[in-house]
Structure 1
Amino acid sequence: MKVEYKLFAILCVFCFGVGIWYGIWTGWEEPVGVVGLFLTGGLCAMIGGFVWWTARKLGPRPDDDPQGNISDVEGDYGFFSPHSWWPFFLGLSGAVVFLGLAVGWWLVIIGMPLLAISAVGWVFEYFRGENAI
């Protein structure tokens, strides 16, 4: 994970540097850009710190070996549901909720139960019915 935390450290320094430069360039009159850049730098620092902390606990991965082969990292990447409709309904109900933020709160009230039902359905898809594990 050396590459990952170094990447986020570089992004952190870059965002803080650009934030300072932007603040000086605008005369510290426009606070939104400066705050946004500082928050982005802080987020990069948090992610980089977490990845660094995790790398210390796990030790070197096959990705960290410059002489490693692609076949060193092969294996199972997880389980992905091939025939699930729940992500579609979750995205559709999420779109209704976000559209409601722009159009009117009545649409948010309609979309929130649909969003909750879709999220619960997707999470518990393989715990009930014919696909139960």
Structure 2
Amino acid sequence: MVVDDVSPEVEVKTGRIAGFDFGLKTFLTCSDGTIIESPQFFKQSLNAIKKASKQHSKKLKGSSNRERARKNLVRKHEDISNRRHDWFWKLAHELTDKFDHAGEYVNIIQSDTKTVVRQRSMRSLLLLV
């Protein structure tokens, strides 16, 4: 005899709805006034990348030392990419815990000749139904 006594997962509702605007000066602005700055991962690692790039350029083409220096440079760039990716997911998780529904703002720009609707693409991980 098999008994399925599995209770459904409890869905926590915060009752909060938010709109987001991705900007050039700030990474994200919430409708509740929260401003999230973009961490400058590339700027933080720029000296290490410069050093690795210079070491790579000074090696003799085709040598195993140049290949090792190239892999070191690639590793530095991958580290930046991984930190960015991790930060995006942590931010998305934080926002989904904070809000039940999220959307994005659409900018409508009117010029003399035509009306342009410009919508910034929102990451699918921030879209909630």
Q: TM-score, normalised by structure 1?
A: 0.32
Task: Say which structure, 1 or 2, has more relative contact order (CA 8 Å, 6+ apart).
Answer: 2
Higher helix share: 1
Higher strand share: 2
